[in-house]
Amino acid sequence: MKEINQRIIKFFDALADETRLKILVTVSKGPMTVKDIHSSVGELTLSAISHQLKMMAGLDIVKFEKKGRKKYYRLSDAYCWCPLRDAFSQMNKKTKCPHCAELFEKGGNLIQD
């Protein structure tokens, strides 16, 4: 259980950083190079983007495929990205999770371990 807790903490810690969150949202659109990400995010330097991608690759949050001299980064399939998608949707007041609403109404256990 401790190992699982540590992976969850590292995952959410990566999402809690604004720079990494911007990069992840950008990469969620499809495989991109550092220059592609820079064009989309803008205010970050290429070096800062590369540093964050290296750190997230080490945590298996992003993966990359090398084609020639370029690396194409994408979201890792090691994690479920629904919490990130749902957070954006809920913060934009577009949706409320029907599953959670039903659990709260019934007083059920929200987290299954």
Residues 104 and 68 in one domain: no
pLDDT at site 112: 62
What's the pTM? 0.73
Q: Where are the beta strands (DSSP E) in the chain?
A: 62-67, 70-75
pLDDT digits (tens, 9 = 90+) for 90-106: 777 666 677 677 766 77
Contact 70, 33 (CB under 8 A): yes
Per-residue pLDDT of the chain (113 residues; tens, 9 = 90+): 788 888 888 888 888 888 898 999 899 899 999 999 999 988 889 999 999 999 999 888 899 999 999 999 999 887 767 777 777 777 776 666 776 777 667 766 656 65
Verify that 107 and 70 share a domain, yes or no: no
**Which range marks the domain in which residue 98 is found?**
80-113
Residue 37 shares a structural domain with residue 90: no
d(CA 24, CA 13): 13
Place of tokens 């371990």: 113
The total number of residues shown for the chain amounts to: 113
100 to 27, 43, 88: CA distances (angstroms) = 28, 36, 16
50 and 72 within one domain: yes
